[in-house]
Amino acid sequence: MRGLVRFRFGSISDQHSPTTAHSDGHKATDHGSHNNTGKAFPVLDLNYENVRVPFEISLWVLLASLMKLGFHLVPHLSNIVPESCLLIVVGLLVGGIIRGTGETVPPVLDSKLFFYILLPPIILDAGYFLPIRPFMENLGTILIFAVVGTLWNAFFVGGLLYGVCQIGTESSSILSRIGLLQCLLFGSIISAVDPVAVLAVFEEIHINELLHILVFGESLLNDAVTVVLYHLFEEFSGIGTVTLVKGFLGVISFFVVALGGVLVGVLYGILAAFTSRFTSHTRVIEPLFVFLYSYMAYLSAEIFHLSGIMALIACGAVMRPYVEANISHKSHTTIKYFLKMWSSVSETLIFIFLGVATVAGPHDWNWTFVTVTVILCLVARVIGVVGLTFIINKFRIVKLTTKDQFIIAYGGLRGAIAFSLGFLLEKDHFPEREIFLTAIITVIFFTVFVQGMTIKPLVELLAVKKKQEAKRSINEEIHTQFLDHLLTGIEDICGHYGHHHWKDKLNRFNKKYVKKCLIAGERSKEPQLIAFYHKMEMKQAIQLVESGGGIKLPSAMPSTVSMQNIQPRPPTKPAAERAIPQLSKTKEEEIRKILRTNLQRTRQRLRSYNRHTLVADPYEDGLSDLFLKKQKMFQIEKKVIFSF
């Protein structure tokens, strides 16, 4: 690991390490000989090589932290320039200073450094604090944008780019060497929306929760498509031929990569929750298990070329409800702030390193290739979002408006993931690697600077709904649970098993089996409403202490007296002596029989609620005949009366 880090953060001074070691050996010999002659002990000595690697790492982290601090100290700067843009500019300045002094710019944004050190904290922070309810309610839309949209972007950009390369231009001798598979490989790299860039921009503009979860969810879940397409076209480019069997195996590979990553994440999430069950006597190491199990899930997925991002998302989302029920409040605070700090530093370093890597080069600028790439990325994104939304809105209750579609299309930012995937390409197998990297950096700069800087004014101009910082209350939680139960009952009566029905089944299974295994003590039997009340009470108590409030609690704050009122108390009387109206056995059996037969008959008759498939009432014909007979008798009586 030491050698790997030295390569990443090293500079031109690495080339002189043998000479330095040789001179150190001579120095040690001289010291020994001088000590034998009685020379005084050296009071001050200089040996930078022993601490060079950790010292330079600390300098990079310190630079990133100071830049983030300075960004928020300058008034009104955040309203004009996004933080990500400023950090890239800082990286460009640092790289320019290093090159101006005659030194070689170090390869700071190495792919291994990015994928194994900088990216996991950002994804874990997003997965651990992922809003589960809006994510699951919009999962279908997110999957369509992530899978179908990414495939469309990759093939559209790659296919048309190959056509442009084959057209005779001034640089036809360079572009004509780029084949179809290489163009499709480049399209798969540049097509995916980057989660780091989306987080950096969307958190500053405070967009509403629906648009945020759609764009950010797409950027998380399109990792599986990107990984499969990247490895698929990389292998095809080396072989040079594509067969139908290999294409079919590529489709299967997508499901293996995506579902395998989710499975690995769920497994490690359950292990983390089960381990936290036994940490009541060693609270100090509780946060460590959350970080270690999550990182192990990411690495285990990467070992088998599965989606590490989906493994981290699944691990964080699965472990959180059980871990938070087991660990102490101090451990919960430690996890929250350490994850936020770690992800913030990683995000800052990524953008600074991106600027430094831009100066480091090497670049191969081609006006035709770069310009066409930027235009095709924009066109493919707009066509994909509009076309897919037209289909999605046919099945959504809450339709995506034209403004929503514009923000989704305009928010498709690219970032360091595309650069790192392009950096992984080998020069020997891909002679056009430098052209690809130059085009990737141009697209990243265009999306981050142009789209990132203009999306906030456009949101204001179009009057797009902003995020409302409203705190959840007990009243809202009660009504939410009531509506969930009501919709589940309606689906059960109609015989239509929708997502409310399966959500209720999953909640029952979780309460009956999973909680008992993963949550320690009586907390596993605690109702969800009471657990939510405990969390609210603790949060408001902390806010009261931090604000310097006195002993007297405000009337709006829940107190221990109100808590006792809503907590279930043990019965003071035996169950037989409770004042409950008694029903006879025959009455009770009749009620059960009526409910059972009617509900069962309804479910059999109406498997899915559709006005075209409703079964006719068997008594409907008899009633119509009786009505016709009465009408005829009435007409006969009228004739008899008029005849007299």
Alpha helices in 448-584 (DSSP H): 452-462, 474-494, 499-509, 515-518, 528-546, 560-566
Strand partners, 466: 207
**By C-alpha distance, which of 50, 59, 45 is closest to 20?**
50
CA 408-409-414 angle, to 5 degrees, is 100
Residues of the chain with pLDDT under 50: 1-35, 171, 550-568, 573-579, 600-620
Q: Are residues 160 and 282 in the same domain?
A: yes
Q: Is position 620 within any domain?
A: no
Q: What is the pLDDT of residue 432?
A: 82
Angle, helices 209-221/308-326, rounded to nearest 10 degrees: 120
pLDDT single digits (tens) 468-506: 766 667 777 778 878 888 888 887 787 777 777 888 888
d(CA 219, CA 197): 9
Q: What is the pLDDT of residue 612?
A: 41
| Residue 438 within any structural domain of the chain | yes
Q: Given this model, what pLDDT does residue 624 score? A: 57
373 and 519 fall within a common domain: no
CA 523 to chain centre: 29
DSSP string, 81-137: S-HHHHHHHHHHHHHHHHHHTTPPPP--S-HHHIIIIIHHHHHHHHHHT--HHHHHH
Same structural domain, 283 and 249: yes
* Segments forming the whole domain that contains residue 386: 111-345+362-462
Assigned domain for 519 exists = yes
Distances (CA, A) of 224 to 140, 242, 354, 624: 16, 21, 23, 61
For residue 96, count CB atoms less than 10 angstroms from its CB and return exposed for 0-12, middle for 13-18, buried for 19 or more.
middle
Same domain, 526 and 397: no
Tokens 């500079």 appear where? 11
Note whether 247 and 145 are same-domain residues. Answer: yes
For position 219, which CATH number holds?
1.20.1530.20
CA-CA distance, 323 to 290, in Å (whole number)?
8
What CA–CA distance (Å, rounded) separates 110 from 349? 12
Q: With CA atoms as reference, report the closest residue to 461 among 409, 411, 412, 407.
A: 407
Sign of the Cα pseudo-torsion (89, 94, 95, 99, in order): positive
Whether residue 447 is found in the same domain as residue 501 = no
Nearest-angstrom CA–CA distance, 74 and 84: 15
Q: Are 254 and 393 within one domain?
A: yes
Which two tokens mark 135?
């994510």
Domain annotation covers residue 435 = yes
Torsion of CA 419, 421, 424, 430, to 10 degrees: -90
> Which residues contact residue 589 at a Cβ distance below 8 angstroms, ignoring those fewer than 6 apart?
none
275 is written with which tokens? 């381990």
The predicted pLDDT at position 125 comes to 92
Contact predicate 65/345, CB 8 Å? yes
In a domain, 439, yes or no: yes
Element (H, E) at 442: helix 433-445
- Residue 190 CA to residue 205 CA, distance in Å, equals 24
385 shares its domain with 508: no
C-alpha span between 364 and 536 (Å, rounded): 57
Q: Look up residue 480 and give its amino acid.
A: T
Q: Is residue 396 part of a domain?
A: yes
User: Is 429 part of a structural domain of the chain?
Assistant: yes
Domain C-terminal end among 533, 558, 591: 533
Round to whole Å and give the CA distance between 189 and 440: 8
Helices (H) and strands (E) in the chain, counts: 30, 0
d(CA 128, CA 290): 10
Same domain for 503 and 432? no
Long-range contacts from 592-600, C-beta under 8 angstroms, 24+ separation: 599/492, 599/493
Number of domains in the chain: 2
What interhelical angle do 223-239 and 180-190 show, nearest 10? 160
pLDDT at residue 260, rounded to an integer: 93
Contacts of 564 (CB under 8 A, 6+ apart): none
Query: By the 8 A CB rule, do 407 and 475 touch?
Result: no
402 and 499 within one domain: no
In this structure, are 492 and 368 located in the same domain?
no
- Kindly state whether residue 78 falls inside one of the protein's structural domains: no
- Whether residues 198 and 272 share a domain: the answer is yes
For position 367, what pLDDT does the model report? Answer: 85
